[in-house]
Amino acid sequence: MNSSESTVILGAGIIGVSTAYYLSQSKPGSSIHLIDSSPELFASASGKAGGFLAADWYGPASAPLGLLSFKLHKQLADEHDGAQKWGYSRSTGASFAESEEPVGEEAREGEWLENGRSRAEVAGSHEFVEGEGPAWLTRRKGDGYDVISAGETVAQVDPLRLSHFLLNECRKRGVHVHQPASPISVSTDTNNTITSLNIKQDDGSETQIPCTSLLLTCGAWTPKVFDTLFPSSTLKLPISPYAGHSIVISSPNWTSTHEQNGCHAIFSTSSSGFSPELISRIGGEIYIAGLNDGAIPLPDLATEAKIEASAIAELKKTAQRMCGIPGHEIEVLTEGLCFRPVTPRGEPILCKVEEKRLGGVKSQGGMFVAAGHGPWGISLSLGTGLVMSEMIRGVKTSCKIGRLGMQ
C-alpha cells in the first residue's frame, strides 16, 4: 500500500475498532480513520452485551469465523493480560429449565409449611455443586441443569473494557478517531471514483476525509448509513435492529473466591414469558438479559435509546428469583438497552460490495460491509476484524467466509 491510501471505517463499535486494530498492524495507523456519530462510544451492543465467547456455537456459514475469533480472543488475552484488563476468563455454558412450582412470596412464606416442605427447599440452594450450576444460581427441586460447553470452548469477557482496550491500542498506533462525527456524503473525481468522505462534526463544521477504501461497521445503523452515502443504489442491506434490555447486578454468592472456578453462562427457559440469560463476569458482576423486542424503533443515536421501566422491572424480578437471597433485595449496578443488528438468515454479512451495486459510484480500494452479527458480535469481533483487515489489504483471509457475502 502506498502512502496516499486511506481507509475509512464508519462505526467505532467493537467490529470497527477490531478491524482498525488488525489493519494497523500491517499499514500505518495514520492512514486509518475511525468515524462514529455517537457522543459516547460503545453505547449500544459493544458496551452493553453479555460478553460470552464460544468456539463452536454457530451455523455452518459462521463456524470457521467463530473458531478463528475464539482463538484470537485467547491469544489477545494471553499477550496483553486480558484477565486483568478486560475480565477474560474460561467459562461454562449451560442450559437451565426452571420448574413450574410456585416461587413467589406466597410460596416462600406459606406453602413451604403447609405442604411439609423445608424452607431451604423453597428458597433454593446457593451451594456450588460440581456439574449442578454456579453458587449464584438459585436451584429448586424439579429444575433442570445441563452443561452445554465447558473447558477450552467457551470463555467470558467484559465487552466494554475490551472495546476500550482495542480503541486505546489503535490510538497508540496513530489511528485517527473522529467522534462525534456523522457521514453526510462521498466526493468523487471525474470518473465517479470516491476520493473522500464528507463528515459533519458536532459543532456543525464539515470535514473531508481522504478515502481509498471504505468499511461500514455501524451495527444496526449500517443500512441507514449506506443509504445516506449511496442514495442512487437500489441495494437494501438486509440488516434490522433487535432491541434487548439488560441489567448488571452484584451478589454475595459471586465473589473473587468463586471466580477462581471460572465464569458461567446460563441460558434458561421459564414460565416468565421470555428466556433469561444470566452471565457471571470477573469483578463480581452478573449480567442478566433475554428480554428482547424487535418492535422498539432504532434511535438516531445509540445514546438516545429509551430504557423501558417495565422491562427493567421484569429483569429485576427475574434476578431476584434466580439469583436473590431470601430477605435481601438484589443490588442493580447498571441498566441497559442495546440494538443488535440481525439478518434474516441469522448470519453476519462480511463482504466487499460490488461496484455495480453502488449506484454508479466507484471505489478505488473497495467498499466493504461487516455487520449483522446478532447476539454474537462480541464473540465474532476479533475474527471479523482480522478478516476484514485482510480483505481491505487484498490478501488471503485467515478463514473461509465465502458464505457470509451479500445474497
Q: Which residues pair with 247 in a beta bridge?
A: 288, 335
Determine how β-strand 181-188 pairs with β-strand 285-293. Answer: unpaired
Q: What is the pLDDT of residue 143?
A: 79
Q: Which residues pair with 239 in a beta bridge?
A: none
Q: What is the pLDDT of residue 121?
A: 35
Instruction: Give me 339's grid cell.
Output: 440494538
Q: Summarize the confidence of residues 191-203 as an average pLDDT.
A: 94
Question: 157-196 in b/e burial notation, b at 16+ Cβ within 10 A?
Answer: bbbbbbbbbbbebbbebebbbbbbbbbebbeeeeeeebeb
Percent of the chain with pLDDT over 90: 76
Q: What is the pLDDT of residue 150?
A: 78
Q: Which of 91-95, 147-151, 186-190 has the lowest mean pLDDT?
A: 147-151
In degrees and rounded to multiples of 5, residue 205 shows phi and psi of -75, 155
pLDDT exceeds 80 at position 109: no
Q: How many CA atoms lie within 13 A of 392 on its CB side?
A: 33
Domain spans of the chain, in order of start:
7-84+157-239+344-404, 89-156+240-342
Q: Summarize the confidence of residues 225-231 as an average pLDDT.
A: 97
Residue range 343-363, pLDDT digits in tens: 999 999 999 999 999 999 999
Q: Which is more confidently placed, 207 or 272? A: 207
Instruction: Give me 151's grid cell.
Output: 473447558
228, 184 contact by CB (below 8 A)? yes
pLDDT exceeds 60 at position 99: yes
pLDDT exceeds 80 at position 273: no
Taking each helix axis from N to C terminus, what angle separates 14-23 and 159-172, rounded to the nearest 10 degrees? 40
pLDDT exceeds 60 at position 107: no
Q: Which is more confidently placed, 110 or 313? A: 313
Q: Which residues pair with 367 in a beta bridge?
A: 214, 353
Tell which residue, 25, 58, 372, has the closest CA to residue 218: 372
328 Cβ neighbours under 8 A, 6+ residues apart = none
Residue range 75-97, pLDDT digits in tens: 999 999 999 999 999 999 998 88
Instruction: Give me 123's grid cell.
Output: 428458597
CA dihedral defined by 74, 222, 174, 382, rounded to 10 degrees?
A: 10
Q: Summarize the confidence of residues 145-165 as an average pLDDT.
A: 92
Read off the amino acid at residue 9.
I
Q: Which residues pair with 353 in a beta bridge?
A: 367
Range 89-156+240-342 classified under CATH 3.30.930.10: no
Name the band, by pLDDT with cuts 50, 70 and 90, for residue 120. Answer: very low
pLDDT exceeds 90 at position 279: yes
pTM: 0.91
Residue range 9-58, pLDDT digits in tens: 999 999 999 999 999 999 999 999 999 999 999 999 999 999 999 999 99
Q: What is the pLDDT of residue 144?
A: 83
Range 7-84+157-239+344-404 classified under CATH 3.50.50.60: yes
HEC-encoded secondary structure of 49-115: CCCEEECCCCCCCCHHHHHHHHHHHHHHHHHHCHHHHHCCEEEEEEEEECCCCCCCHHHHHHHHHHC
Q: What is the pLDDT of residue 102?
A: 44
By the 10 Å C-beta count (0-12 exposed, 13-18 middle, 19+ buried), 237 is classed as buried
Read off the amino acid at residue 389.
S
Instruction: Give me 366's grid cell.
Output: 473497495
Q: Which is more confidently placed, 317 or 102? A: 317
Q: What is the pLDDT of residue 100?
A: 59
Average pLDDT of the chain, as a whole number: 89
H/E element holding 349?
strand 349-353
For 130-193, strand residue ranges (E) read 144-149, 154-156, 176-178, 181-188
Structural Rg of the chain based on CA atoms: 23
- Alpha-carbon separation of residue 37 from 181, 209, 229 (angstroms): 5, 15, 14
pLDDT exceeds 70 at position 132: no
Domains 7-84+157-239+344-404 and 89-156+240-342 alike in fold: no
CB atoms within 10 A of CB 310: 9
- Alpha-carbon separation of residue 290 from 140, 244, 278, 305, 325 (angstroms): 21, 7, 8, 17, 22
Determine how β-strand 213-216 pairs with β-strand 367-371. Answer: parallel
Q: Which is more confidently placed, 61 or 105? A: 61
